[in-house]
Amino acid sequence: MGKMTGPALWERALRVLPGGVSSPVRAFRSVGGEPFFSERGEGAFLYDTQGRRYVDYVLSWGPLILGHAHPEVVEAVERAARSGLTFGTPTPAEVELAELIIELVPSVEVVRFVSSGTEATMSAVRLARGATGRDRILKFDGCYHGHADSFLVQAGSGVATLGLPDSPGIPAALSGLTSSVPFNDLDAVETSLRRFPGEFAAVIVEPVMGNVGLIEPVDGFLAGLRELTRAHGTLLIFDEVMTGFRVSLGGAQKRYGVDPDLTTLGKVVGGGLPVAAFGGSREVMEQVAPAGPVYQAGTLSGNPLGMAAGLAQLRVLARERPYESLERRTAQLVDGIVRAATERGVPISAAQAGSMWGVDFTDGPVIDYAAAKRTDAVFFSAYFRECLKRGVFFAPSPFEAGFLSTAHEPEHIERTLEAVRESLDASVVR
């Protein structure tokens, strides 16, 4: 058999995987064309099966803040693997990783490890319901909290990309317990909480929205949520699956100075392996089984390879504190894209929080999902494909954030901006 090539693989994939993929946005549906198959990643680069190289701004959708195959992370995983892949007993590494998370994330005193961000948010909501004895939850339009039933109401990420209505398969009795209001709108939050007094277990929010492009909280929004939830006896959950260890070493709660009751973590915390976590105050977390009655469990939870990868990555971050440099380089990229678009008369609105960023091809400001939806998706598709041709991999959807890693050097960004200028020229209809 010859070397497997992309197109042949894609045909095979379409036969055996729904839509050819294991997660929807990977299929490139909203930008057209076929996805490439990755063979290898190194630092800022991804190499496909055809031997092409891309500067990668997707970075596996967030986890790879140190770039692909960081030597310290890979070594830690190799070392762990040689000692066994999973034990089903407590291990030292999970205690060490929990201690490090608690040291870094201001509001977290006790942690439970799980295997995906979805599991973390799902479990945090169960805990909030168990701890308060209430059933309703409040979320924000365009926020994505994974694919558990309660969250697929006005959700971002793939749901936004594919323009899906709320997913079939979710009982109305359950989705009816989820309310969704516009991000950055405290009046709407207060109105909802007042409408069902004493019924909301939790308000869950991405403190920086990263699943409809990027939207920052306006001044006072997160602090206002803190006050309102406290006044209503409702728990505040920061879904920091994307922002944790990304927008600062202590996450969004550190960056914006607002402490939630519960925090969910994923992506960066696992160093590229399937690790996520939820945590909070001792009082609330000790409601989780076996310390308390709220059930939650997992065969591979706290998996030794995942713990090793997460520990290695967080230790590098805690030692090197690369956040200022990441933020500066991300600004170099985002400012460059905005300048290039503006010079060509292309409407653009951009936002950045640390090394997370997003651009919308629309006039700003974009402070909620309704505004983000005004982005020119047709223009985005053309721009995306032109960039990809030139070896720059941006997320294949206008509704996803971009990321930067410590492996992205200023010269990579300069080359990217060159490709962006050419791609904008090629995408503008004359």
Catalytic residue among 54, 57, 144, 256: 144
Our finding on whether 397 is near ligand PLP (CB under 6 A) is no
Catalytic residue among 56, 141, 239, 368: 239
Tokens at residue 192, please? 């909802």
In the bound state, the residue with its beta carbon closest to ligand PLP is 117
State whether residue 245 is helix, strand or coil.
coil
185 is catalytic: no
Options 177, 241, 367, 371; binder of ligand PLP; rule CB under 6 A? 241
Q: Please state the closest distance from residue 137 (CB atom) to ligand PLP, in A.
A: 14
Our finding on whether 260 is near ligand PLP (CB under 6 A) is no
Our finding on whether 207 is near ligand PLP (CB under 6 A) is no
Options 28, 144, 200, 256; binder of ligand PLP; rule CB under 6 A? 144
Site for ligand PLP in 266-305 (CB under 6 A): 266, 276
Catalytic residue among 139, 254, 267, 373: 267
Options 30, 121, 154, 178; binder of ligand PLP; rule CB under 6 A? 121
Our finding on whether 141 is near ligand PLP (CB under 6 A) is no
47 is catalytic: no
Our finding on whether 224 is near ligand PLP (CB under 6 A) is no
Q: Please state the closest distance from residue 208 (CB atom) to ligand PLP, in A.
A: 9
139 is catalytic: no
Our finding on whether 330 is near ligand PLP (CB under 6 A) is no
The stretch among 2-10, 111-119, 124-132, 179-187 that binds ligand PLP (CB under 6 A) is 111-119
Our finding on whether 117 is near ligand PLP (CB under 6 A) is yes
How many residues of this chain bind ligand PLP (CB under 6 A)? 15
Q: Please, which residue, 244 or 348, has the CB nearer to ligand PLP?
A: 244
DSSP 59: G
Q: Please, which residue, 126 or 232, has the CB nearer to ligand PLP?
A: 126
Which residue do the tokens 């961000």 mark? Answer: 117
Our finding on whether 379 is near ligand PLP (CB under 6 A) is no
> What residues line the site for ligand PLP (CB under 6 A)?
116-118, 121, 144-146, 206, 210-211, 239, 241-242, 266, 276
Q: Give the residue numbers marked as catalytic.
A: 144, 239, 267
